[in-house]
Structure 1
């Protein structure tokens, strides 16, 4: 993991949200992120799960699905790729409300909810 930190720092510094942070904040954030692999077709999270993390897509693509309670069917929301932050909607609402599935093999950077909330408190302009 330590050898990947410089690449993650560079990725974050070019990200539209995280790139506005001071360099020390990017370094701190890069050390908190955990790389995780999601093979194509794997569910990253489900609508009925209460998440305790977000996932920043480092490589690959995913699709998000919403659930329509009227017809009890999933509705495609969007296809997302590198740099997209998944799971923040579920954290903001305090309940699972969407599903994310890996459309290709993905490397995601996982950040725990507590670290994410601390980051938002310390850098509210990123919210």
Structure 2
């Protein structure tokens, strides 16, 4: 398949939250996305490293993997496909937390980390969207740590995350001293 700025722009204009940008802005950022192919089983993001880009799945499917803190077992928490954005959670929160592995051959449109962060500065609506977006991996980690601290510590963490994420909300606090 041939990837042109116009086909990338048409695709990007259907993806939340990019679809809320002006057509001119979409056209401008479309030229900055680069297609990247992954073979089935290839690692797309690694939990231990801040990703060099965000990636939007254009073709194929991948699995988001989390690690249960009670036993370090990898858990497939979500199957993602066309239009899913990965990498944002690590970049927005400022620490590496995402692992994704291609389940089929994948073509992803990637936007370099610095370009993504610049885009957030220029478009406050994008920054607000991602800052207020509850990340599946962060909910998994948070609930996993809570289970780890309990005496029984039992339960299906994946199911607990699915039940909890619906009502979850992000609260962004300003930098500064914590009140006691």
In the superposition, the TM-score normalised over structure 1's length comes to 0.92
Asked if 1:46 corresponds to 2:53, the answer is no
Please provide the CA RMSD for this pair: 1.5
Contact persistence 1:67–1:98 (CA under 8 A) = no
Q: Could you tell me how far apart the structure 2 residues matched to 1:68 and 1:97 are?
A: 13
Report the counterpart of residue 58 of structure 1 in structure 2: 58
* Greater gyration radius: 2
Equivalent residue number for residue 36 of structure 1: 36
What is the count of residue pairs matched by the alignment? 126
User: After the TM superposition, which parts of structure 1 deviate over 2 Å for at least 4 consecutive aligned residues?
Assistant: none
Q: Provide, for residues 45-72 of structure 1, a one-character-per-residue CA deviation record: whole Å limited to 9, x for no partner.
A: 1111121211111111111011122211
Determine which structure has the larger strand proportion and give its number: 1
CA contact (8 A) 2:51 2:87 kept: yes
Match of 1:97 in 2: 97
Separation in 2, partners of 1:24, 1:67 = 41
- Report the alpha carbon displacement of residue 44 of structure 1 after superposing the two structures with TM: 0.3
Q: Please, which runs of 5 or more residues in structure 2 have no aligned partner?
A: 130-180
| 98-107 vs 10-19, greater mean Cα deviation | 10-19
Q: Tell me the equivalent position of 2:125.
A: 125
Distance 1:94 1:35, change over 3 A: same
- What's the CA shift for 1:98? 2.2
Using the alignment, how far apart are the partners of 1:36 and 1:95 within structure 2? Answer: 23
Higher relative contact order (CA 8 A, sep 6+): 1
